[in-house]
Amino acid sequence: MTKKIIILASGGGTNAENIIRYFQKQPSTSVHSVLCNKKDAGVFQRSQALDTPCHWFDASSPNFLLDYCLTHSPDLIVLAGYLRKIPVELIANFTNKIINIHPALLPKYGGKGMYGMHVHTAVKQAKETESGITIHFVNEQYDEGAVIFQATVPLLPQDTPAQIAKKVQSLEYKYFPLIIEKQLA
């Protein structure tokens, strides 16, 4: 039986694209669909180019995500740049079946408002000597779910936030599909 993934995204969709491409080569798993809460997000074009359904939804609609996921029964829900808090009802119905990737080594630089360049700027300002990714289960609090996997990358004192972002993204692209696959095994 084929395992089914639903991706939630809010932005450009580079991680979603990477995940879709990876699983197009894995006959035992498919990306069923991508759900996005921003009508003009780049993830729509990336998903369409890969023949993967991508649907806009109104994030203020309280039951859409739960109803959609209950109807389509994913084996895993993957947050790939999704910037909204996950409804408690969805978490309760899909315990340890919702994972997120964070562009820092949690518990540092996590929580509400810590996403994208905000994270990399904070890492730079703190003069960290390394950064990385954290893949974790989603719970009721931002970035506080149990850690599944972390990977690090060394930072140089002269690295800019944009350079830090590029280093961290390379870890995201390398490891996120692999960890998703392990969660489905």
Candidates 93, 178, 106; CA nearest to 141 is 106
Neighbour-count burial of 152, counting CB atoms closer than 10 A to its CB (0-12 exposed, 13-18 middle, 19+ buried): middle
- Stated pTM of the model: 0.95
Neighbour-count burial of 108, counting CB atoms closer than 10 A to its CB (0-12 exposed, 13-18 middle, 19+ buried): middle
pLDDT, residue 62, reads 74
pLDDT in tens, 36-87: 999 999 999 999 999 999 999 998 887 999 999 999 999 999 999 998 999 9
Give backbone dihedrals phi and psi of 101, rounded to 5 degrees, phi first. Answer: -115, 135
Catalytic residues: 102
pLDDT in tens, 115-165: 999 999 999 999 999 999 999 999 999 999 999 999 999 999 999 999 999
Identify the CATH number of the domain defined by range 1-94: 3.40.50.170
Please provide the size of the chain in residues.
Answer: 185
Angle CA 41–27–168, to nearest 5? 45
Peptide bond into 107 cis (omega under 30): yes
